[in-house]
């Protein structure tokens, strides 16, 4: 009787093992809430070309026409996006700084030019050109260029010389071969990336942070996933041979303008209201930002 019971027990155990071996156990994963995404201001490096500054008093309308032509030439290799020049043409020299604050959330960099010499001999003008990061003011490119001009009914610049300026800017910002890096450390708004000078990274370059590590609803099929779910934008502030440091840009906000109004206001009640508005705006900006993680991907513009 005991032997029969043992046989039955063994048979039941074998049956159980066979049943378990036929069952497919679904993979376990830790679902989490997808992070807040953003709409990038651009997927390429986006530029605003402002009117040039005439330090000679002799360049006339060239302070507008040279930036017009330069904007068109910058579009030729399809490396950049360029802000429409129509509104920028009407900005006077005294309003430039104010307008830069207005456009800092619309573009990645500003192109500025100073006409420093306008010579009748050889009919040539000297122009200093700079590309400046819109968010933090870092100088990304600086070059001195000679542009020849013709003096007919209207003074016109030599288009080949303007093309040379565009080519120099293109050369300064090549598309990176390793266009995607990873966040290797982070602290608040500061991030470190595993690509550096040896990979072509330069101070002021714009980056998009991609949430590729977010878990999707169906991990087996990856249904609904996207390889480009952007959760933030930022800019490079320091470059080392094999790594770089960046800062995450704040979403568009009114904090700077409110604080400027506060500095001018003398009425105590109005100051209190402004302080409340600033606090609310800071809270809104904080809630509008996503969180970042080590190993999140970083795509260079």
Q: Are residues 55 and 165 both part of a single domain?
A: yes
Residues 6+ apart with CB under 8 A from 105: 41, 252
Q: Are residues 62 and 131 both part of a single domain?
A: yes
d(Cα 285, Cα 283) in Å, to the nearest integer?
Answer: 5
Helix (H, G, I), strand (E, B) or coil at 282: helix
Residues 152-194: tens digit of each pLDDT: 667 889 999 999 999 999 999 988 877 789 999 988 789 999 9
Q: Are residues 194 and 165 both part of a single domain?
A: no
Q: Are residues 207 and 280 both part of a single domain?
A: yes
Domain assignment of residue 59, given as a range:
45-172
Specify the CATH number for the domain of residue 149. Answer: 3.40.50.10610
Helix (H, G, I), strand (E, B) or coil at 234: strand
Q: Are residues 189 and 124 both part of a single domain?
A: no
Domain boundary among 112, 146, 172: 172
Confidence of residue 289 (pLDDT cuts 50, 70, 90): low
Specify the CATH number for the domain of residue 263. Answer: 2.40.10.410
Burial of 150 (0-12, 13-18, 19+ CB in 10 A): exposed
Domain boundary among 143, 172, 201: 172
**Neighbour count for residue 59 (Cβ, 10 Å):** 22
In a domain, 278, yes or no: yes
Token pair for residue 29? 């994963």
Q: Are residues 167 and 49 both part of a single domain?
A: yes
Strand partners, 183: 193
Residues 203 and 245: beta-carbon distance below 8 Å: no
Q: Are residues 211 and 284 both part of a single domain?
A: yes
DSSP H or E stretch at residue 81: strand 80-82
Confidence of residue 214 (pLDDT cuts 50, 70, 90): low
Give me the number of domains the chain comprises: 2
Domain boundary among 147, 172, 197: 172
Residues 110-144: tens digit of each pLDDT: 999 999 999 888 899 999 999 999 888 889 999 99
Statement: residue 282 has pLDDT above 50 = yes
Cα 219 → chain centroid: 30
**Neighbour count for residue 191 (Cβ, 10 Å):** 25
Residues 229 and 209: beta-carbon distance below 8 Å: no
């Amino acid at each position: 009787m005991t032997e029969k019971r043992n046989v039955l027990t063994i048979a039941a155990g074998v049956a159980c093992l066979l049943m378990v071996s036929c069952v497919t156990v679904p993979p376990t994963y830790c679902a989490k809430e997808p992070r807040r995404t953003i709409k990038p201001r651009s997927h390429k490096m986006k530029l605003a070309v402002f009117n040039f500054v005439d330090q000679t008093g002799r360049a006339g309308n060239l302070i507008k026409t040279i930036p017009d032509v330069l904007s068109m030439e910058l579009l030729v290799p399809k490396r950049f996006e360029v802000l429409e020049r129509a509104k920028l043409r009407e900005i006077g020299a005294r309003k430039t700084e104010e307008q830069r604050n207005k456009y800092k959330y619309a573009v990645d960099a500003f192109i500025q030019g100073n006409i420093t010499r306008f010579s009748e001999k050889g009919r040539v003008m000297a122009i200093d050109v700079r590309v400046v990061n819109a968010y933090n003011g870092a100088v990304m490119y600086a070059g001195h260029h000679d542009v020849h001009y013709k003096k007919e009914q209207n003074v016109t610049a030599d288009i080949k010389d303007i093309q040379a300026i565009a080519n120099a800017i293109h050369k300064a910002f090549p598309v990176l071969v390793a266009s995607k890096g990873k966040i290797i450390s982070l602290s608040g708004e500061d991030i470190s990336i595993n690509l550096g000078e040896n990979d072509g990274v330069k101070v002021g370059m714009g980056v998009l942070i991609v949430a590729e590590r977010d878990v999707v609803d169906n991990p087996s099929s990856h249904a609904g996933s996207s390889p480009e779910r952007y959760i933030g934008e930022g800019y490079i502030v320091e470059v080392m041979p094999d790594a770089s440091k960046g800062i995450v840009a704040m979403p568009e906000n009114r904090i700077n303008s409110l604080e400027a109004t506060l500095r001018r206001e003398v009425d105590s009640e109005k100051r209190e209201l402004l302080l409340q508005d600033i606090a609310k705006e800071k809270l809104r900006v904080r809630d509008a930002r996503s969180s970042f993680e080590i190993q999140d991907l970083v795509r260079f513009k």
